[in-house]
Amino acid sequence: MFLKNRYESEELRVLNALNSRMDLAEKEKQYYFNLKKGFEGEVVFDGHLKRIVIQSLILSDLLFEQNHSHFQIDSLMISQSLIYLFEVKNFEGEYYFDGETFKKINGTEVKNPLLQLERNASLLRQLFKSIGYKIPIEPYLVFVNPDFTLYQAPLNKRIILPTNINRFILQMNHQRSILNNQHSRLSERLLSSHLTKSPFTKIPPYEYAELRKGVFCHSCGTVMEEYRGREITCESCSVKENTKKALLRSVKEFNILYPLEKLSTNLIYEWCGGVFPKKTIRQVMKENYIISGYGQWSIYE
């Protein structure tokens, strides 16, 4: 049973909105792509965990602080006698372990995910001890991308490769697990300890006047300019989108970037690059938002 589902972080939502509307620096763009790819991999693994049929409590995307150290947990599963801790990676390509280092096939060293997993497991044990729980933790490093290959993997480490995921789920489903109130109290305690604001956020500064205006294609990121009443078309990739859906998606992007700003017809018209008539904007917003004020002074909430 999933007690805490996974959603895009505020950071990822902001970077999604900014990616089409400003020129991110190369490091910012790479950070955004890695963040997005990591989230997609975690969603893939969530799909595998949904196939677990034994009694369990699953919590996704947790952030804790223990002994002045913050640590993030991709997925955690509470079973009868074990806590399963999963560190999920969506790496693509060929990698290998060289002793304590982790490298791409071309020799480039990257951050060792096993060290990250061991750190998280250690801090989680300390957290459990501080709240009075002694249930053992079994950490796993999970690679979900089918285009990932790992050489020289240490045999004494709990590493789940893409080809092993199905077998792992089957093994889990053959275990005995009966939960009680103690397990529920532990899950409640973990949820109450979860931090909603991450100290790791890296959002670049942005100004409204400098952001590109328009409706951007959800498929290729190009400005969509071919508006024909009920739909709008991307000339770059030929994707068509319902006008109402495209308009509301653009408004949502504005809300993500400027959550405290009041919405008006003129503001939305400008934000969408003037592609939608103001009459259409008023109609769609009236159907989906609460309107206050009158005429040109109307505000949507």
- Tokens representing 153? 């993997």
| Angstrom distance (rounded) from CA 20 to CA 253 | 11
pLDDT reported for residue 106: 95
| pTM for the full predicted model | 0.91
Examine residue 117 and state whether it is found in any structural domain, yes or no: yes
Q: Do the beta carbons of residue 227 and residue 243 sit within 8 Å?
A: yes
User: Could you list the residue range(s) of the whole structural domain that residue 42 is in?
Assistant: 2-193
Co-location of 105 and 226 in the same domain = no
Q: For residue 130, what are the contacts with CB-CB under 8 A and spacing of at least 6?
A: 66
pLDDT reported for residue 52: 97
3-state secondary structure of 94: strand
Asked which of 164, 193, 222 is the last residue of a domain, the reply is 193
Examine residue 66 and state whether it is found in any structural domain, yes or no: yes
3-state secondary structure of 227: strand
Examine residue 202 and state whether it is found in any structural domain, yes or no: no
pLDDT reported for residue 296: 64
Co-location of 118 and 179 in the same domain = yes
Examine residue 236 and state whether it is found in any structural domain, yes or no: yes
pLDDT reported for residue 235: 87
Co-location of 133 and 261 in the same domain = no
Could you list the mean pLDDT of each consecutive 10-residue stretch along the chain, which spans 301 residues?
91 95 95 96 97 97 94 97 97 94 95 95 96 94 97 89 96 95 95 90 94 92 88 89 94 95 94 94 90 76 81
DSSP bridge pairs for 149: 94
pLDDT reported for residue 297: 66
pLDDT reported for residue 229: 84
Co-location of 189 and 40 in the same domain = yes
Number of domains making up the chain: 2
| Angstrom distance (rounded) from CA 20 to CA 67 | 39
Examine residue 208 and state whether it is found in any structural domain, yes or no: no
Exposure b/e, 225-234, CB count within 10 A at least 16 = b = eebeeeebbb
DSSP bridge pairs for 138: 84
pLDDT reported for residue 99: 87
| Angstrom distance (rounded) from CA 278 to CA 296 | 11
Examine residue 199 and state whether it is found in any structural domain, yes or no: no
| Angstrom distance (rounded) from CA 41 to CA 142 | 10
Examine residue 228 and state whether it is found in any structural domain, yes or no: yes
Examine residue 200 and state whether it is found in any structural domain, yes or no: no
Query: Nearest 10 degrees: CA dihedral of 242, 244, 249, 252?
Result: -170
